[in-house]
Amino acid sequence: MKRLFFVAAAAFITSANGQSYPTKPVRIVLPFAAGGVADIVTRTMAQKISEPLGQQVVVENRPSAGGIVAAEAVKTAAPDGYTLMLLSNGTAVSVSLFKSLPFDPVKDFAPISMMGTFDMLLVVPASSPYNSVKELVAAAKAAPNKIAIGTITAGSTQHLAMELFVSLAGVDMQAIPYKTTPEVFSALRSGDIQAGVDFIAPIMGQLKGGVVKALGVTGERRFPGLKDVPTIAEAGVTGYQTNSWNALGAPVKTPRPIIDRLNREVVAATVAADVKEKLLSLGVETRSSTPEELGKLLASEISKWARVIERANIPKQ
């Protein structure tokens, strides 16, 4: 009996230290539907880390408002490294968009690593008289609330990026939310709005087709596939920087050796040429981090978007 106890205890310790992990498939739960950029990023990374882990890494889509369904599934899962969650800027935004959440992004999840970031573009119709961010801002200051800027869905990443732009540029512009990205482009073509903000991937076709022109990219540096487009900060809106990001987390009590093993594999995947090339075509730059860096990012994003949402008077859901 004692021998069985010591064997079981040894097996537990080995597993907790991550030495034999994983011994079965690993599941990543997404708070988004299949087919979107976050889904493609996660599936690409899952496939890449499956081989070195020696186990299949499967992706499970569980979309819901605020990512609540996915977050609860991971929060209540065993902290053994077999159930992971996609964390994103949406996770940070949800804290201020909802009156209450059944989870705390900082306290309930252990950060693993960043996987990638994807920027947005500020665009205007190809026929627009504005050829730079400075020209658009100057026009908005000269005619308050006469220039309309469109994004999708109030509270979305794109909408909040626009609200941050308006705030830091010190202008009064009409914020027009639409249900879908095609509706935003339709409004740009018809002249119902004079500018729009959206992710790079859906805009690329419109850029190549001469439907719109890009004035600035929202990220901290120029996007590799659009090197002629300055960042919005470069273009004159000091301090402006935002993007969407995807990362991995685990239930909070997951042993550190398992977190470190997963971190190593994600870091290796983000520098793999085939992964970088595939995701760059979607407007995504692969990027890794330490668990500590990801934890700091999540906390800072929660604070940042809380201020933006408060200034914009976006009602809580």
CATH of residue 74's domain is: 3.40.190.150
The answer to whether the peptide bond before residue 255 is cis (omega within 30 degrees of 0) is no
Q: How far lies 115's CA from each of 26, 279, 307, in Å?
A: 17, 11, 26
pLDDT of 278 reads 94
Q: How confident is the model at residue 19 (pLDDT cuts 50, 70, 90)?
A: low
145 and 107 both lie in a single domain: no
pLDDT of 134 reads 97
Q: pLDDT digits over 50-109, tens only?
A: 999 999 999 999 998 889 999 999 999 999 999 999 999 999 999 999 988 999 999 999
- Cα–Cα dist 202/182, whole Å: 9
User: Which one of 226, 260, 294 terminates a domain?
Assistant: 226
Does any domain span residue 103?
Answer: yes
pLDDT of 111 reads 98
Q: How confident is the model at residue 17 (pLDDT cuts 50, 70, 90)?
A: low
177 and 28 both lie in a single domain: no
- Cα–Cα dist 156/159, whole Å: 5
pLDDT of 195 reads 97
Does any domain span residue 254?
Answer: yes
Q: Pick the range with the lowest mean pLDDT from 23-27, 103-107, 155-159, 312-316.
A: 312-316
Q: pLDDT digits over 180-215, tens only?
A: 888 999 999 999 999 999 999 889 888 989 999 999
Q: In the predicted model, what is the mean pLDDT of residues 252-269? A: 98
Q: In the chain, what is the greatest distance between 2 CA atoms, to the nearest angstrom?
A: 84
Give Cα 260 distance to the centre of its chain. 22
Structural domain range at position 170: 120-226
166 and 255 both lie in a single domain: no
Q: What phi-psi label fits residue 19: left (phi over 0), alpha (psi between -120 and 50 degrees) or beta?
A: alpha
Helix, strand, coil distribution of the chain in percent, nearest 5: 45, 20, 35
Pick from 88, 83, 22, 33: nearest CA to 58: 83
Q: Count of residues for the chain?
A: 317
* CATH number of domain containing 128: 3.40.190.10
Q: pLDDT digits over 285-309, tens only?
A: 999 999 999 999 999 999 999 998 9
**Average pLDDT over the chain, rounded to an integer:** 91
30 and 109 both lie in a single domain: yes
Q: How confident is the model at residue 132 (pLDDT cuts 50, 70, 90)?
A: very high
196 and 105 both lie in a single domain: no
55 and 193 both lie in a single domain: no
Cβ distance 196 to 184 under 8 Å?
Answer: yes
Does any domain span residue 87?
Answer: yes
Give Cα 39 distance to the centre of its chain. 11
Of all residues in the chain, the percent with pLDDT exceeding 70 is: 94
How many domains would you assign to the chain? Answer: 2
pLDDT of 79 reads 98
Q: In the predicted model, what is the mean pLDDT of residues 148-176? A: 91
- Cα–Cα dist 272/115, whole Å: 12
* 3-class secondary-structure state, position 130: coil
Cβ distance 231 to 217 under 8 Å?
Answer: yes
Q: In the predicted model, what is the mean pLDDT of residues 134-143? A: 96
Neighbour-count burial of 92, counting CB atoms closer than 10 A to its CB (0-12 exposed, 13-18 middle, 19+ buried): buried
From start to end of the chain, where are the E strands? Answer: 26-30, 57-61, 83-88, 109-118, 120-125, 148-152, 174-178, 195-199, 212-217, 244-251, 284-286
- Cα–Cα dist 50/44, whole Å: 10
Pick from 124, 120, 99, 94: nearest CA to 109: 94
82 and 16 both lie in a single domain: yes
Q: How confident is the model at residue 13 (pLDDT cuts 50, 70, 90)?
A: very low
- Cα–Cα dist 165/78, whole Å: 41
Does any domain span residue 238?
Answer: no
DSSP 222-255: --GGGTTSPBTTTTT-TT----EEEEEEEETT--
91 and 44 both lie in a single domain: yes
* 3-class secondary-structure state, position 316: coil
